[in-house]
Amino acid sequence: MIWVDTVVQGILLGGLYALFAAGLSLVFGIMRVVNLAHGDLIVMAAYLILVLVTALNLSPLIALLLAAPLMFAVGWLLQQLVLNRTVGEDVLPPLLVTFGLSVVIQNALLEGFNADSRRIGAGSLEIASFSVGPITIGVMPALTFATAILVTLALQLIFYRTALGRAFRATSDDPDTASLMGIRPGNIFAVATGLGMVVATIAALYLGMRANFDPTIGPARLIYAFEAVIIGGMGSLWGTLIGGIVIGVAQTVGAAIDPEWQILSGHLAFLVILLVRPRGLFPAGGR
């Protein structure tokens, strides 16, 4: 029974990693570029929520509703002013620019908030739990997981059921022909990055409520997100959710064997899947 509990906790933890990854997956699916500053942008959003919660004395949920459109604007501007100048045949420029951005964001946060670790207070939610048979489930992990499913579902609906989603897919297929159809690829990319930042803000809320954060933890979140995207198969949104779950389960199972193994076993699961299925579990094209 202890193993069932371990796996269930792992699945729920996977929800958090899936949230870290969903925005990355969306943007990669449309632009075929990886934003190396994604983790730092999540941390930035967490500070934004923290400021709204403490300065305006708002509840975390209300703070999220304010922070999300602000982060959409950040993503939109970032894409229009900076990243659109780097997209093209060569994949190196966007990598270099977002790597630089990662460093800039970390230092700016250090400057603005110092290196102390912070937390977004969630009151009694932090320790609330309920029982399913013999298994005790934390309300916060359960909420995180439910949110991950809802976010994935919402992105999936936008992608496959709306005019915006059609434009996303058409622009991803062939930006030149899309522009012949009246679409401005740069605008579509900016909306995609903005949407990715909205998802990142949701991830930031859970990041900040569940654990301490400081300005330097972004790159580690990026690695989990990146692994989830690759395990799931680049460009597949449901695959990314599964990828997050794989890492979460590997971590809790590893930790059950030996607590020191938690982080490492997540990375090992990633490496094994990369060896067995280099294109991930659900590669795009075979959706």
CB-based contacts of 207: which residues, under 8 Å, 6+ apart?
16, 20, 42, 43, 46, 213, 221
Given a contact cutoff of 8 angstroms between Cβ atoms, the answer to whether 151 and 200 are in contact is no
Listed ranges 45-53, 67-75, 94-102, 178-186: which one lies at the site for other proteins (CB under 8 A)? 178-186
Closest alpha carbon to 203 in 152, 263, 127, 138:
152
C-beta closer to other proteins: residue 29 or 219: 29
> Is residue 172 near other proteins by the rule CB under 8 A?
yes
C-alpha 96/C-alpha 117 separation (Å) is 28
If binding means CB under 8 A, how many residues of this protein chain bind other proteins? 17
* Residues facing residue 130 across a β-bridge: 137
Residue labelled with tokens 């002013």: 81
SS3 90: coil
Minimum CB distance to other proteins, residue 266 (Å): 32
> Is residue 87 near other proteins by the rule CB under 8 A?
no
Listed ranges 31-39, 124-132, 167-175, 220-228: which one lies at the site for other proteins (CB under 8 A)? 167-175
Q: Residue 164 burial (CB < 10 Å; 0-12/13-18/19+)?
A: middle
Listed ranges 38-46, 48-56, 76-84, 160-168: which one lies at the site for other proteins (CB under 8 A)? 160-168
Among 59, 114, 129, 177, binds other proteins (CB under 8 A): 177
Minimum CB distance to other proteins, residue 178 (Å): 7
Listed ranges 117-125, 181-189, 245-253, 263-271: which one lies at the site for other proteins (CB under 8 A)? 181-189
Give the DSSP H or E segment for 131: strand 129-132
Minimum CB distance to other proteins, residue 183 (Å): 6
Q: Which residues of the chain form contacts with other proteins (CB under 8 A)?
A: 163, 166-167, 169-170, 172-174, 176-184
